[in-house]
Amino acid sequence: SGRKAVEKEMTIDERLEALEELLEKMEDEDLPLEESLKLFEQGVKIVRTTQEALSGIEEKLKVLTGGDAEDDV
């Protein structure tokens, strides 16, 4: 899907901003349940792609530091 490709191209900061926007919309008490569910699903997808991106960054750090990046944190 095109949306997934767009999410993959977003920076981590852009993903976090998109999640904040989704939360603001979901906090609207007048939002229909169906719309809330759609926004929640979008949020879950963004969280997953962000986790994948962060895992990739962690792996790169491990390679660059020659070890387990978590040991140095």
For residue 67, the model assigns a pLDDT of: 77
Q: How many CA atoms lie within 13 A of 66 on its CB side?
A: 0
Q: Is 10 exposed, middle or buried (0-12, 13-18, 19+ CB in 10 A)?
A: middle
For residue 29, the model assigns a pLDDT of: 81
Residues 65 and 46: their CA atoms lie apart, in Å, by 28
Given the structure tokens 């981590």, which residue do they identify? Answer: 12
Residues 4-28 pLDDT 10s: 556 568 899 999 999 999 999 999 8
Phi, psi at residue 67, to the nearest 5°? -170, -155
Residues 23-70 pLDDT 10s: 999 998 889 999 999 999 999 999 999 999 999 999 999 999 987 655
DSSP 3-state of 64: helix
